Amino acid sequence: MRAFLARNATQACILGILLATLAVFVAANPRTFLAAPIYLAFLSTIPFTAIIALGMTLVIIAGQIDLSFPSVMALSGLVFATILPATGSGALALVAALACGGLMGLGNGLLVAGIGVPAIIATLGADFFWRGLTMLASDGLARSLVAFRDSPVHALLVGRLFGVIPAQALWLAGIAALVWLLYHRHVFGDALRFVGDNPEAAAMTGVPVRRTKTLAFVLLGLLAAFSSCLVCMEMGTWWPTQGEGYLLLVFASVFAGGTSVFGGEGTVFGTLIGAVLIGIIEAGVVSSGFSGFWTRLIYGLVVLGSVSVYAVLLRSRRR
Question: For residue 146, what is the DSSP state?
Answer: G
pLDDT at 198 over 50: yes
Distance CA 310, CA 314 (A): 6
Q: Report which secondary-structure segment, H or E, holds 268.
A: helix 268-287
pLDDT at 76 over 70: yes
Which range has highest mean pLDDT (153-157, 258-262, 315-319)? 153-157
Express each pLDDT in 79-135 by its tens digit: 999 999 999 999 999 999 999 999 999 999 999 999 999 999 999 999 999 999 999
Flag whether the pTM goes above 0.85.
Answer: yes
Region for 161 from its dihedrals, namely left if φ exceeds 0, alpha if ψ lies in -120 to 50, beta otherwise = beta
Q: Is 240 in a helix, a strand, or coil? A: coil
Distance CA 177, CA 295 (A): 30
| Mean pLDDT, rounded, for 52-61 | 96
- Looking at residue 1, its pLDDT comes to 47
Residue 166 backbone phi and psi in degrees, to 5: -65, 135
- CATH class of segment(s) 2-318: mainly alpha
Domain boundary assignment for the chain: 2-318
pLDDT at 2 over 70: no
The pLDDT mean for the chain works out to 89
Q: Is 206 in a helix, a strand, or coil? A: coil
Amino acid at 137: A
- Looking at residue 226, its pLDDT comes to 98
Express each pLDDT in 247-302 by its tens digit: 989 998 998 888 888 788 888 999 999 999 998 887 788 777 776 677 778 777 77
